Amino acid sequence: MTEEREVSSASFYQFLAEKKLMASRCQKCQALYLPPHPICTKCYGNDMEWVEMKGNGKLAAFTSVAVGPSCTLEEGYDRNNPYLVGIVELDEGPKVSGRIRGLDPKKPENIKIGTPLTVEFLEQVEGKRCFLAFKAE
Amino acid sequence: MSRRAPKLGRGVALVGAGMSKFGAFADKSSRDLFVEAFNAMTESVDKGIDTKDIEALYVGNFSSDLFEGQGHVAPIMADWVGLVPKPATRIEDACAASGVAIREGVIAIASGLYDIVLVSGVEKMTNLPTERVTDTLAAASDAIYEASCGFTFPGLYAAMATAYMAKYGASVEHFMKVGIKNHNNGALNPKAQFNKSIKDLMGSRIEKAKQKGELVPDWREELDFLKDPKANPVVAWPMRLFDCSPITDGAACLLLVAEDLAKDFCNDPIYIVGTGQGSDHAMHEREDLTSILAARTAAREAYEMAGVKPEDIQIAEVHDCFTIAELVAIEDLGFFRPGEAYKATNPSIPQGVSNPRGILWEPQEQGRRWKYGARCGAKQVRGRSQVKTSTSP
């Protein structure tokens, strides 16, 4: 065990705040889970360990959100100032959702699936909670 | 353990159907909409239904909790039409809520527990401002791992659309053509929210601009209108306003009965021969971002139960919350091979009009109006041979 923390979403977000992107791995069959799962859904083992992802991947799907939820209005986004969010396939294999930065949300038609991305750890405006983001080089 | 083929314990028939007007109704709560649909349903039953004979209610509802501040909606709906103290159960399964309510009603009758069941779908969405509707709909995603980083519900389907475009070469115009076709179908239904084709909508906006002496937009065809960001703004790229189902208030009710009682209610009942249901991972954990495992699983079960194949289906009404959803659905249902559905957006794919979803109907003889659609006051679109002949998965 690299870490003794319980495999839970709370631990995942604690790690994010520490700037670590952590997945869970089944010690029996080595299946990798991100978001971290407490039970292996391939072999049904529940002996999971934490494993840190390098944070490199490529864009698998995305959208430029013009009509956002309340929390992104608070961040300053709106119909004239959209943001990007997407699904990133990590080099280690798992896919995960995250905010996408370093690409132009106003020109989504120019964004290519497969664009290389690196993990970022964003703070919410007022909250203490950190959320997952990826940045294009 | 080997899997047993799915089957219903006994036959189930649909003998009545009704829906409320769909739209934005400031003065109507979910119970008012439910009562409107219930009254339309009772009127539709040829030989009549005595409310006292209804044994149970299953009501599909995604989120009256957040939309109206009203949880526990099932007993309220039951009370408003005089069903108390009969069992009343709310089904919450996001967009599939009312479809699953139908299935639960079918299962309840097939099990032998009840003979006569009312199933319904109801949603009252327009009380809230758009951003709070967006928050509420995002509650159907994974709140901890998807909504937390800014995914909205239109955004998730939009992300599927970008994956679909990259994998298969579809363009935004293909999505727009799905919307044009669906608005044409909606124009056939007097109870539809807009009840207007894109062409008519475009025409009335041009007319309005002329009357007001404003600059007349240079739209020659529907695609010009849909590509104009002023007329059709982005919600979550590539999904624009007319790619998205609107924020709507509405309800529908169906009356299901045991097969052997069906002729006591009407002369030509619709028999339910197959039903299926599935589940899927959060989007990012799906192996393929252009297909929905739940839909493929549900379709396989329903086809197996009914003893039919995709190519036997003459008419289908699929979930079209977003235009991309329809393309993915008709592939997952086996009408088209993966990556082929968008190519069919020129000859339009027949589809019904905004009703509860998720049940396979007994194939009807050629040319006969689909009773359910007719009862709801809608004109039924006719099945076209393309669906049957262009699919061989």
Find the mean pLDDT for residues A8-33.
Answer: 96
pLDDT in tens, A55-94: 999 999 999 999 999 989 988 999 999 999 999 999 999 9
CB contact under 8 A, B149 and A98: yes
- Which residue from A66, A61, A65, A64 is spatially nearest to A112, judged by alpha carbons? A61
> Could you tell me how many residues make up chain B?
393
List B residues 204-263 in contact with A (Cβ-Cβ < 8 A): 233-239
Phi, psi of A55 (to 5 degrees): 95, 10
List A residues 26-45 in contact with B (Cβ-Cβ < 8 A): 35
- Which residue from B15, B13, B88, B98 is spatially nearest to B57, judged by alpha carbons? B88
* A113 part of contact set with chain B, CB < 8 Å: yes
pLDDT in tens, A100-135: 999 999 999 999 999 999 999 988 656 657 889 999
Name the residue with tokens 């097969």: B259
pLDDT in tens, B123-161: 999 999 999 999 999 999 999 999 999 999 999 999 999
DSSP H helical ranges for chain B: 30-44, 64-68, 73-80, 97-110, 130-138, 153-168, 172-186, 198-212, 222-227, 293-306, 323-332, 371-375, 385-389
* A9 part of contact set with chain B, CB < 8 Å: yes
DSSP, collapsed to helix, strand or coil, labels residue B329 as helix
Rounded-to-integer distance, Cα A105 and Cα B237, Å: 9
Please state the ipTM of this predicted complex.
0.96
pLDDT in tens, B287-308: 999 999 999 999 999 999 999 9
CB contact under 8 A, A63 and B138: no
- Which residue from B305, B317, B303 is spatially nearest to B356, judged by alpha carbons? B317
- Which residue from B67, B71, B82 is spatially nearest to B28, judged by alpha carbons? B67
CB contact under 8 A, A69 and B146: no
Nearest to B234 among A60, A64, A97 (CB): A64
Element (H, E) at B263: none
CB A69 within 8 A of CB A37: no
* B185 part of contact set with chain A, CB < 8 Å: no
Instruction: For residue A126, give both structure tokens.
Output: 């007022």
